[in-house]
Chain A
């Protein structure tokens, strides 16, 4: 894990050394999606909540930045706070309804709610409608941290990722995390032990949504563009794929998965415009034959098989 983060920390100097600034941009994007994948991993692998609508929070975070920007607010702290508040409210609402169900219902309902936000974003013309909103400048965070510098932005995102990774490792070992994990295996027994399972699950769902919302705000910051396509249902699928590709419930797994998935996508797109034609079957093969992700290929790392 330390090795992986060190490697990621070295991306800007290495790409500078090879005079390929493009890779800083690519890896900023990768780190942002790594945050999103990490947030999904929390509820999916540890909590057993298969949210198929995580792109919704990405969209809420991005739109918080875009809308604030449209009203002339360009302070990054305010942007992030708005993204956090927005994602928390939306995740609480969606979680409140969806957590009344489980299993396949949960998958379909989270998907449906994210689709609802997608169509909502398309239908509001004030905020760009289907075309989205372009932002003219990066958010401000004092002269010490100029976010319009690609390297600075990279490390800004990197700090968030490192923070969330640390947070996640603490959460899953905490009492709270144990309740969530217990509820995945046997919710009835956890309830019998006296835990208000639903409340714990909802709390985890909101934490995950907020993390993903911050990823969304960072995504808007990097692209300087916000559009409904951030919330497209296939995006939720992609985030899920990243978690699986890297390895579920293995902390660093989702980050590795985000790197693997987006680098693969980048290679395929540079080679053919029909990248999904190859990515789709690769995905099917991974699911059918390589169920434990890339992390399980590293010897001595896997302690437990996946069981959901």
Chain B
């Protein structure tokens, strides 16, 4: 039972990281109608710069802003330099150009930091363990990730639905042309939204550093999972992204933890050893396929524009 609780927390922690990635992707897609494969690169850059700064200075207070700033700067540069041309193009051009960017950034970090994975350390004050309830020790760092993730989600909700900026964002998402005609500066709005997505990706990346490895291409697999999340949640919907990322995080973690022992109940051990992990790795895609089968536009599709 305690183990179940711990696995649930692991699932939540994975889920909030997915949310930080998916929120940026879904915002960028919902408002600019752009597919951005380079979103994973922003995650990677955030992780590398944060790990490097922490390693060099030993100050976490310095490492976090530098990681975020690096992701933000990269995001703004590619938005102004490349995406402004891509907005008018079709999805195919967007996929190819951002695929090229991903190739470039994956090799760029190999040139700067080498091909071997960089070791990111957990900051000292979060190195210990916390008892969620008595007898259930849990790494403080992972708990902090969950807290930060939920805090960011709440903040995002407040900004999007209760501020003037959020109103413009929502207006842009439901009808770009009309929002522009009513006086919203669409060019600036695009850059700001893209920058926001970049910061969220950078945040996810720098928090992921100590949990996963910091390596070239680290952003790609989480990027594809974030795609799964926003497809399940409904592209363009932050609420959908939030619910779907927690769901995907929990299902994936639980599947990996419990399918093998579950299969062991009615299969011989070797068969269970083989099928357990295989089915666990398929689980979220099966969920995605099932959701799409019944709701092709996702669980919470934004209202038609």
Among the listed stretches B138-146, B205-213, B272-280, which one makes contact with chain A, having 4 or more residues with CB under 8 Å of it?
A: B272-280
Cβ-closest chain A residue relative to B82: A284
**Contact A100 to B101, CB < 8 A, known contacts A112-B224, A112-B231, A244-B96:** no
**In chain A, what residue has the closest Cβ to B273?**
A125
CA A52 to CA B99, docked complex, whole Å: 11
Known A-B contacts A237-B99, A283-B103; A113 and B274 likewise in contact (beta carbons under 8 Å): no
Which B residues are closer than 8 A to A by beta carbons?
A: 29, 33, 35, 37, 82, 85-86, 89-93, 95-97, 99-108, 110-111, 220-221, 224, 227-228, 230-231, 235, 273-274, 277-278, 280-282, 285, 288-289, 292-293, 296-297
Contact A277 B108 (CB under 8 A): yes
CB of B35 within 8 A of CB of A123, answer no
A97 adjacent to chain B (CB < 8 Å)? yes
- A82 nearest CB across to chain B (Å): 20
Given the complex of chains A and B, what is the CA–CA distance between A100 and B297 in angstroms?
Answer: 9
User: What would be 28 A-B contacts, judged by CB atoms less than 8 Å apart?
Assistant: A100-B293, A101-B292, A101-B297, A104-B35, A104-B235, A108-B231, A112-B231, A113-B285, A115-B221, A115-B224, A123-B281, A124-B278, A233-B224, A240-B96, A241-B99, A244-B92, A276-B103, A277-B111, A279-B100, A280-B100, A280-B101, A280-B103, A280-B104, A283-B99, A284-B100, A286-B96, A287-B93, A287-B97
- Cβ contact of B93, chosen from A112, A120, A275, A291, cutoff 8 A: A291
Is the CB of A107 closer than 8 A to any CB of chain B? yes
B residues near A104, Cβ cutoff 8 Å: 29, 33, 35, 91, 235
Q: Are B96 and A241 in contact, with the CB atoms below 8 A? A: yes
Given A109-B231, A276-B107; 4 other pairs, CB 8 A cutoff? A109-B288, A276-B106, A280-B101, A284-B100
Could you tell me how many residues of chain A have their Cβ less than 8 Å away from some Cβ of chain B? Answer: 46
Q: Report yes or no: A109 in contact with B97, Cβ–Cβ below 8 A.
A: no
Minimum C-beta distance from A249 to chain B (A): 12
CB neighbours of B274 from chain A (8 A): 124-126
- Majority secondary structure of chain A interface residues (helix, strand, loop or mixed): helix
B96 to chain A, nearest CB (A): 5
B90: A residues at CB distance < 8 A: 308
Q: Are B227's CB and A111's CB within 8 A? A: yes
Task: Quote the shortest CB–CB distance from A237 to chain B (angstroms).
Answer: 4
User: Shortest Cβ distance from B266 into chain A, in angstroms?
Assistant: 20
Q: Which of A100, A244, A275 contacts B292 (CB 8 A)?
A: A100
Does A294 sit within 8 A of B, measured CB to CB?
A: no
Within A227-285, the residues touching B (CB, 8 Å) are: 233-234, 237, 240-241, 244, 274-277, 279-284
Given A50-B92, A97-B289, A120-B278, A287 and B227 touching (CB < 8 A)?
no
A103 at interface by CB-CB < 8 Å: yes
Q: How far is the CB of A298 from chain B (nearest CB, A)?
A: 21
User: CA–CA, A180 to B99, complex, Å?
Assistant: 27
State whether the Cβ of A105 lies closer than 8 Å to any Cβ in chain B: yes
Inter-subunit contact A123/B278 (CB<8 Å): yes
**Chain B contacts for A281, CB-based, 8 A:** 100, 104
Known contacts A115-B224, A274-B111, A277-B104; A105/B82 CB under 8 A? no
* Residues in B neighbouring A241, C-beta threshold 8 A: 96, 99
How many angstroms between the C-alpha atoms of A192 and B273 in the bound complex? 52
| Nearest Cβ on chain B to A233's Cβ, whole angstroms | 6
- The answer for the CA separation of A276 and B110 in the assembled complex, in Å, is 11
Closest 3 CB pairs of A and B: A280-B104, A283-B100, A280-B103
| Closest-CB distance, A119 to chain B (whole angstroms) | 4
- Distance A111 CA – B105 CA, assembled complex (angstroms): 20
A8 within 8 Å of B by Cβ? Answer: no
* Partner of B293 from A97, A277, A280 at Cβ < 8 Å: A97
A107 engages B35 (CB within 8 Å): yes
- A276-B103, A277-B107, A308-B90 known; A284+B220 contact, CB < 8 A: no
Nearest chain A CB to B234's CB is how many angstroms away?
10
Q: Is the CB of A119 within 8 A of B35?
A: no
Which residues of A have CB within 8 Å of B107?
274-277, 280
Chain A residues near B111 (CB, 8 Å)? 274, 277
Write out, one digit per residue, whether chain A residues 200-232 have a CB within 8 A of any chain B CB (1) or not (0): 000000000000000000000000000000000
- A244: which B residues are within 8 A, CB to CB? 92, 96
A116 touches B285 (CB 8 A): yes
Contacts of B100 in A (CB 8 A): 279-284, 287
B290 to chain A, nearest CB (A): 9
Contact of B96 among A108, A111, A287 (CB under 8 A): A287
Question: Would B92 and A308 count as touching, CB distance under 8 A?
Answer: yes
